[in-house]
Structure formats: structure tokens, C-alpha cells
Amino acid sequence: MKIALFVPCYVDQFYPQVGIATLQLLEKLGCEVEFPLGQTCCGQPMANSGCEQDSVGTYHQFVRTFADYDHIVTPSGSCAYHVKKHFDIIEQTPAVRKVRENTFELIQFITDVLKVTHIGGTFAHQVGLHLSCHGQRGLHLANASEITPERGGQVSQILSTIGGLTLTNLTRNDECCGFGGSFCVTEEAVSARMGIDRLGDHLRNGTEILTGGDVSCLMHMEGIIRRQRWPIKVMHVAEILNQTLQSTTTIPKTLC
Amino acid sequence: MSHSDLAEKFNTDFDKTTWHDESLWFVRQKRDRAVFQVEEFQELRELGSQIKDHTLSKLDYYLEQFEANAQANGVVVHWAADAHEHNQIVLDIIKKSGESCLVKSKSMLTEECHLNPFLEKNGVEVVDTDLGERIIQFLDQPPSHIVMPAIHLKKEEIGEVFHKHLGTAKGMSDPQQLTEAARQHLRQKFMAAKVALSGVNFAVAETGGIVVCTNEGNADLGIDLANVHIASMGIEKVIPTLEHLAVFTRLLARSAIGQPITSYTSHFTKPRQGTQMHVVIVDNGRTAQLGRPDFRASLKCIRCGACMNTCPVYRRSGGHSYDATVPGPIGAILSPNIDLKKHSSLPFASTLCGSCSDVCPVKIDIHVQLYKWRQIVSKSGDYSASKRLAMNVLGRVLERPQIYGRIGKVARRMLQITPHALSHAAALNPWAKARELPQPPAESFKEWYGKNRK
Amino acid sequence: MLSRQKILGQIRANKPPELPSPIVPFFNENEGKINAVEKFGEVLRFVGGSFYELPAGETNPNAWLVRELKRLFPAAKSVVSSLSLGMETQTITPETDTSVLEGIDLAVLYGEIAVAENAAIWLPEAQMPHRAVPFITQYLVLVVKKESFVRNMHEAYQLIPKQNQTYGVFISGPSKTADIEQSLVIGAHGARGLTVFVV
């Protein structure tokens, strides 16, 4: 099984520690992971701004880079969703179809492909999980509150296997944080307000560490936390899992 | 003004924004409770969606069937290609009746056609009888929500309006008392009016009847006391049968306000003896939307407003920030069809979170259509040229890994050495108005990987 | 008629290929498990109405109705009914003048179908002395026979004839509004109260 790590552009540039944690976590889970050097971005920044035609070259670069791998894993639900959903404007060659089918958000890969649902270890903190909309409603990684009163999803499930970790019970379980790509600057006022409200829910309900599967949402909220000097630390879910999963001994190698 | 400008203005009042958000979230929660009580609700959504898809694919057939049956019932059917023709037809009917006052229940179509100012200009007194509509009519404002037109107003503001227009005591702001004052005021109007206009929630092809849903009972009270009933409907309001109507009566009020059904679901099939009933079937851009494969599903909308209540952007920017007849997510995909230039900012007034599509009772892929409208806006003349260029350059960089790597490194370095006051100057960098920029690390992941793995 | 041709022509040019019409099920798998009358009462109270069932052993439904109505609406001066209860103060016809209708305090009418899932009652024109009566009366009472209850709207529409309809309303609870700050107020324009009696 050939696994490629895709580290999205802004994670590569601003949050290398998330890429490192993802790589180390996958390695601890027994995977041999390559990081193809030709990678850049999924093309979402242009496409979500309405300039899909400007992302076509980036789509092709993405496919060229990853076509030889069985699985492409990324610590970003939003980018994985973009590849799956929006690479439909280029010719659907076998390579394009293969890449679209085999691109996975990290936790989805761990749960659905590696079939690992238990991480264990300890992390004695109250953790607030931010469900990114693209992961939740786009990739169906978690139940949506519009559809069912049952809360639950892959990230919260895997976090709940860690000793000492308490998940924050939010008043609004899955409200958008307001990042929204270029929305965060074109609609600055509403974007900031949404982020403030989202964090208010976490503050009121005792979150010490804010986590999630999408660095973009976390970057936006971290920017507000630092501006407001609120007592919340931000970690990507890969960082928490990588920290608690100390060795590879509990995970059967055969999976990868 | 663009949505973002109007939204920024709205957000200058932090507490009122909180209040607006919470008022609408309350309705969203009521919706959730009502919906989760119906085991088959998701199946009903799918049925609602399929019935509408089917109807749109045979829309000419069902409209003709509706027309024939309505005529057989003694209803006069009119067709209007656009807003102006609709307004003229309504005016002609009123003039012919010899009356000069019209009582009107809620109709988003007449808002879209700007019927009220047209009739008033022609000497007709128009009385909106839905409480929320009457309030904003006094204020000469458009509705800010399609189901709760005055949701943006506080009770104290409404008390002030009633004091001015209805002579209620100054400072009276109790909703119960204000509603009672409106009841007394509007009863007089109902008793006097001989012409009533209503919207149409559903037009049933097989019976030739129309269905109007209200909680207040204002549509019936107006129509049942008048001698002339005019019903205005968009072409997309027709549905084939009563079996199909059953599905929509189960979806509508639960989605809209969390009620199992509206207080009154009224079926007007034949005019009352000795009176007239007219139905005006209006296109006004709808057939063009039908011809856009990516956007025709927007015609499935049953105007429940659930997408507004759930939309985190609508809740924090208010209906008026959309500057369109229908605000919120559904408005943002309907309005560009009517006037792309005026409404070019609306498809961008969304984070594409997808909650709108999840609550939609007829499963319109609203957030997907928002994304698609963005692609059209960017190719039109109504997109910022500098942004257009920036995206083009960004695209060229991101398809070339080496250039991307070099530029990234330079940008991080620049950010490290730029003084905070400059990098965070709000005038240059909207991000930094309320947020810190990420702290640029010494090396990118790619650089780390080169040193540590290969 | 130019616009008619134009609109229909544009629809024909722009509509998608025909899509199938789905079969709408009755959603009655829970038949037997749900007590329709009980459920109806529960929902009616939720939507602001009141609910009375003929007590077991009561042999004269009309006498019980009159007793209850006099107890519940002692102040009602102008009473209208299509049930021949003997407490009607006036007769209303479709020709009755608006000024007379305006004065009605209490209207007692028969509802033909009662829907458990949403407490809606089907009231066709045949049960209305004048179309405006259910709305213009200050208080509305609907009397429903026990055998008229159905579980949901699918079953209800099955019972409504497709032919020869003139006017009919599903009424669920009293007139209400929440147009002022989302505060629920009962009695907007229509009846201030809805009471349902099951006989």
C-alpha cells in the first residue's frame, strides 16, 4: 500500500508542526508514507473565489503528483473535500478518477482504511472539538445537527478513546467558525463575528484546548484567540493523537 | 452597496447582532425539535424534492392542467410574463371592481414585483394584513425575512411605530398588547375591503385550486369577506395532486417555524357565490432559471425560510444586508438570475458551510449553487479586476512547485521582519482587523522533510 | 394571451427531460401502535388549543356539549352553530352581512377529519354557514366524531374528494403570530381560541 502525505499549502508554510504530527502519527500506525515533493495545493483558494478556471493547472499538478499512490492522506477535511467534489471540471481520466477516489482526510483514513478506532494513551485536558463544515457536511465525518439529534462522528469517537480527555459539550454543536476561505477577508466583519461567537461557546463551556481536523478553521480562530488573549490553546487533532500514541506496538503492522 | 458593506454596518451594533442571531437560532431549534419528532422526515424531504423535480420537468403540462381545471371552477386565469404585466393585471381587476382599497396577505411574489408602490401610485390604498408585513409597511421597509418580515425589529421599535400610526400608548411594547392593537385596527380594514389579494403556497393541478398557509388567519379573513379575490403565483408553485400536497403540508411549517402545520391551510377552489376569483400566473425570470441546469433546482423552493434561520451569515448580517426581495442563502441563488450586476456580491456572502442545503425541505443544493454562481460572477464585469488578477497569478504559482516553494519562503521571511503595526494594519489587511496573523515558522514542512526524512 | 404562449413556449424550450413522479407512501407502519385521538390531543395542546373527550358513560353527547359550552363560554352573546344545539342566537347564511358576522362571539361547527400528527381539522365549506365564520368568530369550537381521526396528512387527503371542492380549511389551533420578537401571541386576526370536542 503506497501512501502519500498531502500537506496543504498554508499548512506547509505556516503550520509545519501539523504536517510533522500527521507524518509521525501515520508512521506510528505502521504506515510507510511518502511526501511527494511536487505537491502545492488543492486549488481551493482560486475556485472558492469563483476563479475555478485558474485552478485547473493546480488540479493537474495535484493529479500528476499523486496519481501513483494508493492513498493520499491530508490533515485537512476541506482540501480532501475539494479534491473529491470539485475536480470534476477537468477531464476525468483514469488518473483523475483514481486520485479523487483515494484522497482521504486523516481521521477518515485512520478509521475507514486502517480500521483503527482506538488510540489510547492519556491527555488530561478538556478538549473542544471544532467540526469543520467541509469535513462534517461535505465528507460526512460527523452527524449534522440539522439531520439528527444524535451527536457523534469519527474525530470525537477517536478522541474519546484517550484517557483523561474530556470533550466539551458545546451549546451549538456544529456552527460554522466563519473562516470560509476568501470569505474571511471579503466578509471580514461577519467572519470575525462568527469566530468570536464560536469561541465564546468554547469559553463558556470550559474548553482548554481547541482542536479540529481543519487547519484553516483553527488558524482563523487562533488569530482571534491571540488577539483577544483568551486562555485557549489550539492544536490540530493530529498533534493530540501523535502526542498520546507513544509507540507502534499496539497497532498491527499488517494493516499498512 | 455590496453585502459585505451592509453586513459590516449591521455588525457595528454588537449586542443587536447577538440578539438577531439568537432570535433566529431559536427558530432553528424549534425547527429541529419539530423535525426530529417525525421519523420519516428525511424520506419526506426526498419525496418533496422528487415531486418538485418531476413537476418542473412537465411544468407546461401541469400549468395547463391547472388552468383548465381552475377555469372549469369559475376562476379567471391570467398570465404575466413579467412584474409590470402582473401589476397591470392586478390594477385592472381592482379598477373594474370600482374599489380603491386592497387588503393583502403575504406574498413574496408581489414584493418581487413591487406591487404596492405601483398600486399606490395609481390611487389604490394597499393594506398588508400579516402583522409583520403591516409593521414594515408602516416603516416603509422591505421584509427582512420571508416568513418573519419584521424579525429585525425590537418590540420597543414596533411599539414606537404603533404609537405613531395606531395611537397606542407611548412606550407600550408588550407583544400581546401590540398584537391586540393590530387586530382591532386590521379588523376595520377587513370589514371595509371588497378586494383581497393573497399569495399562493401551492396550486394543485388536478383540482385547479390554490392553497394558502397562514398562522394568523389574515388571508382567509380578507378573502372570505371580499367580493374579489386575486391570487398571485409564480409558475413554480404548481404541484400535480393532493397526494403530493400532503407531503408539502408536512414539510412546510415544521421547516419554517417548528410547528407541525400552519394554523390555517386553506384550499380555495371555487369563488364564493356571487364573487370573483382571479389567479395571476407569473414568470418574471423563472423560465430563464428553468433553462439553467445548474440553477433550476432553486425553483423547487417552497419559501419556508429555514435556510435563513440556519445560516450563520444571515443571522449575523440581517435580511436587509442582502438588498434583495428574498434574502439569505436561497435569495443569494435566486437574485443573481434576476439581476447579476446588482446581486453579484450575494454568492460570496457565505462560508459554503452547507447547513442551508441540510435544512432545505426540498433538498435544494443551495451551497453548491452558491459556488457555481461565484464562477459565473468572476467571468462577468462585476468582479474586482485586482482580485481576478490575483487569482490568476496565484493559480500560476500553485501549478509550479519550485516557484511556489521560493515565494513561500520569501513571504514567510517578509512577515517575520515586517513590524507588527504594518503587517497588521487593518487598512491594508482586513484579516488583521480582528485577528492576529499566524506566526511564520522558520522552515516550511517541505524544508523540514528535506532535512529529516530524505 | 400573448404572455401565456410566451411562458409556455419558454418552459417547453427550457425544461429538463422528464423525471419520474415518486410514489407517496402512507407512512402507516405504526398503525395500531399510535392512539390517534390521544396523539391529536397532545399536539392540539402544543399548538394552543384545548381538547375535550366525551366522558365514558355519557349517553347524550349534545347535552354534554351544551353543558360544557355554557361552562367554558359563559359570556358568549352571539352564538352560531351548525349542530342544532339549541343555543344558537342567530342564523348565518352565505348572504349574511359583514356587520353581523363581525359580532359573532362563538361558532360551533363540525370538523370532518381530524389529523393526529398535527392536530389539524378539515373543515369544508359545507360545514360553514358562511366562509368567514371560522375566522371572524372570537372563539371557535370544532366538534369531531371519534371515527373521523386519521394519523397523518397522507390519510387525510385520501379522504378529501378531488371533485366538487369549493373551499376548505385545515385548522390547527387558534390564530396566532410570533411576528413581534418571536413572542407567541394567540389571537392574531382569526379566532382567539380553538376548542375541540370529540363525540
C partners (3+ CB pairs within 8 A) are B
Same domain, B364 and B412: no
pLDDT exceeds cutoff 90 at C157: yes
Q: B235 and B298: one domain?
A: no
- C59 interface with B at CB cutoff 8 Å: no
Shortest CA gap B331–chain A (Å): 17
| B84 at interface of C, judged by CB pairs closer than 8 A | no
Can you tell me the mean pLDDT for B128-141? Answer: 97
Instruction: Say if C and A touch: at least 3 Cβ pairs within 8 Å.
Output: no
User: Do residues B308 and B162 share a domain?
Assistant: no
Specify whether the CB–CB gap between C150 and C113 falls below 8 A. Answer: yes
Counting Cα atoms < 13 Å in the Cβ hemisphere of C5 gives 2
The span from the first CA to the last CA of chain C, in angstroms, equals 52
Same domain? A167 vs A209? yes
Counting the structural domains of chain A, the total is 2
Residue B16 lies in a domain: no
A144 and A99 part of one domain: no
For C38-198, CATH number out of 3.30.70.260, 2.160.10.10, 2.60.130.10, 3.40.50.10420 equals 3.40.50.10420
Q: B187 and C182 in contact by Cβ < 8 A? A: no
Q: Does C126 touch chain B (CB under 8 A)?
A: no
User: What secondary structure, in 3-state letters, does chain C show?
Assistant: CHHHHHHHHHHHHHCCCCCCCCCCCCCCCCCCCCCHHHHHHHHHHHCCCEEEECCCCCCCHHHHHHHHHHHHCCCCCCEEECCCCCCCCCCCCCCCCHHHHCCCCEEEEECCEEECCCCEEEEEHHHCCCCCHHHHCCEEEEEECHHHEECCHHHHHHHCCCCCCCEEEEECCCCEECCCCCCCEECCCCCCEEEEEEC
Q: What is the CATH number of the domain that holds B174?
A: 3.40.50.10420
Contact between chains at B371 and A43 (C-beta distance less than 8 A) = no
Q: How many CB pairs under 8 A join A and B?
A: 215
Those residues whose C-beta lies under 8 Å from the C-beta of residue C21, and which sit 6 or more positions away, are: B50, B51, B54, B240
Q: Which among C118, C120, C117, C100 has a CA at the least distance from the CA of C160?
A: C120
Nearest to B445 among A19, A195, A196 (CB): A19
Tell whether B49 and B153 lie within a shared domain: yes
Q: Provide the pLDDT confidence category of residue C84 given band limits of 50, 70 and 90.
A: confident
Same domain, B280 and B304: no
Last residue of a domain, one of B379, B400, B417: B379
Task: Please name the residues in contact with A168: beta carbons below 8 A apart, sequence gap of 6 or more.
Answer: A126, A127, A128, A129, A202, A205, A206, A207
**Does residue A132 share a domain with residue A35?**
no
Residues A221 and A165 in one domain: yes
The chains found to touch A (3+ Cβ pairs under 8 angstroms) are B
Shared domain check, A66 and A136:
no
Chains touching B (at least 3 CB pairs under 8 A) are A, C
Asked if the Cβ–Cβ distance from C189 to B216 is below 8 Å, we say yes
Of C15, C132, C187, which is closest to B224 when you measure between CB atoms? C132
Mean pLDDT of chain B: 96
- Read off the pLDDT of each residue in B389-417 and give the average, rounded to a whole number: 91
* Of B7, B350, B394, Cβ closest to residue A45: B394
Cβ of residue B60 closer than 8 Å to a chain C Cβ: yes
Residues in contact with A186: Cβ distance below 8 Å, sequence separation at least 6, in sequence order: B4, B348, B430
Is pLDDT above 50 for B232? Answer: yes
How far does the CA of residue B351 sit from the closest CA of chain C (Å)? 27
Q: Could you give the percent of chain B with pLDDT greater than 90?
A: 93
From A61, A93, A115, give the residue that closes a domain.
A115
Q: Is residue A162 part of a domain?
A: yes
Chain A residues with CB under 8 Å of B374 CB are: 48-50
Q: Which of B379, B407, B426 is the last residue of a domain?
A: B379
DSSP collapsed to 3 states, chain B: CCHHHHHHHHCCCHHHHHHHHHHHHHHHHHHHHHHHCCCCHHHHHHHHHHHHHHHHHCHHHHHHHHHHHHHHCCCEEEEECCHHHHHHHHHHHHHHHCCCEEEECCCHHHHHCCHHHHHHHCCCEEEECCHHHHHHHHHCCCCCCCCCCCCCCCHHHHHHHHHHHHCCCCCCCCHHHHHHHHHHHHHHHHHHCCEEEECCCEEECCCCEEEEEECCCHHHHHHHHCCEEEEEEEHHHEECCHHHHHHHHHHHHHHHHCCCCCCEEEEECCCCCCCEEEEEEECCCHHHHHCCCCCHHHHHCCCCCHHHHHCHHHHCCCHHHHCCCCCHHHHHHHHHHHCCCCCCCHHHCCCCCCHHHHHCCCCCCHHHHHHHHHHHHHHCCCCCHHHHHHHHHHHHHHCCHHHHHHHHHHHHHHHHHCCHHHHCCCCCCHHHHCCCCCCCCCCCHHHHHHHHCC
Look up residue A89 and give its DSSP letter: G
Q: Are B394 and B373 found together in one domain?
A: no
Based on the domain organization, do A136 and A27 belong to the same domain?
no
Residues of B in contact with A187 (CB under 8 A): 3-4, 7, 313, 348-349
Total Cβ atoms within 10 A of residue A17: 17
Q: Residue B64: is its pLDDT beyond 80?
A: yes
- Which of B358, B411, B444 lies nearest to residue A137, judging by beta carbons? B358
For A22, the closest chain B residue by CA position comes to: B445
Q: Are A142 and A152 in contact (CB under 8 A)?
A: yes
Asked if pLDDT for residue A252 goes beyond 80, the answer is no
Question: Can you give the CATH number for the domain in which A228 is found?
Answer: 3.40.50
Task: Give C108-151 pLDDT, tens digit per residue.
Answer: 999 999 999 999 999 999 999 999 999 999 999 999 999 999 99
Closest chain A residue to B5, measured at CA: A187
**Range A104-129 average pLDDT:** 96
State whether A108 and A187 are in the same domain.
no
Query: Looking at the structure, do residues A82 and A141 belong to the same domain, yes or no?
Result: no
Residue ranges of domains in chain C: 38-198
Question: What pLDDT is recorded for position A248?
Answer: 52
Q: Which residues of chain C lie closer than 8 angstroms to B290, CB-CB?
A: 10-11, 14-15
Which pLDDT band, with edges at 50, 70 and 90, does C29 fall under?
confident
Query: Does the pLDDT of residue A247 top 70, yes or no?
Result: no
Residue of B344, B353, B408 whose CA lies nearest to B382: B344
Chain B 226-255, residues with CB within 8 Å of chain C CB atoms: 235, 240-247, 249-250
pLDDT surpasses 90 at A229: yes
> Do the interacting molecules here have an ipTM over 0.95?
yes
Q: Which of A30, A41, A17 is nearest to A238 (CA)?
A: A17
- Both A52 and A154 in one domain: the answer is no
A176 vs B353, B375, B440: nearest CB: B353
One domain for residues B48 and B188 = yes
Are the Cβ atoms of A13 and B394 closer than 8 angstroms?
Answer: no
Q: Please give the average per-residue pLDDT across C67-86, as a whole number.
A: 95
CB contact under 8 A, A188 and B434: yes
Q: Residues of C with CB below 8 A from B245's CB?
A: 157
Provide the pLDDT for residue B240. Answer: 98
**B272 and B183 inside one domain:** yes
With CA atoms as reference, the chain B residue closest to C124 would be B267
State how far residue B310 is from chain A, nearest Cα, in angstroms: 9
Mutate one of C176, C189, C192 to test the B interface: name it (highest B CB count within 10 A): C189
Residue A249 has pLDDT above 50, yes or no: no
Domain count for chain B: 3
Q: Domain of A227?
A: 126-244
pLDDT tens profile A25-64: 999 999 999 999 999 999 999 999 999 999 999 999 999 9
B394 and B254 housed in the same domain: no
Asked if A190 and B4 come within 8 Å (Cβ–Cβ), the reply is: yes
Confidence of residue B381 (pLDDT cuts 50, 70, 90): confident
User: Do B267 and C167 form a contact (C-beta atoms < 8 A)?
Assistant: yes
Domain end call among A115, A147, A172: A115
User: Quick check: is B29 in a domain?
Assistant: no
Residues 317-356 of B with CB under 8 A from A: 317, 347-355
Radius of gyration of chain A (CA): 18
Same domain? A139 vs A104: no
**Pairwise CB contact (< 8 Å): A13 & B444:** yes
For residue B153, the chain C residue with the least C-alpha distance is: C181
**C133, B217 contact by CB (below 8 A):** no
Q: What pLDDT does B251 receive? A: 98
Q: Examine the pLDDT at A246 and tell me if it is beyond 80.
A: no
Mean of pLDDT over chain C: 95
**B279: in domain:** yes
Contact call for B178 and C168, based on CB within 8 A: no
* For chain A, percent of residues with pLDDT exceeding 70: 96
Same domain for B238 and B354?
Answer: no
Quote the CA–CA distance of B409 and A15 in Å, as a whole number: 13
Domain extent at residue B438 = 389-452
Does residue C33 register a pLDDT over 80?
Answer: no
Q: Same domain, yes or no, for B325 and B406?
A: no
Question: Nine-digit cell at C199?
Answer: 363525540
A105 domain-assigned: yes
The predicted structure's pLDDT at residue B390 = 92
Closest CA to B93 of B214, B17, B194, B205: B194
Give the Cβ contact number of residue A120 at 10 Å: 12
The reply to whether B319 and B337 lie within a common domain is yes
**How high is the pLDDT of residue B454?**
67
Instruction: Report the pLDDT value the prediction gives residue A254, as an integer from 0 to 100.
Output: 47
Q: Above 90 in pLDDT, residue C32? A: no
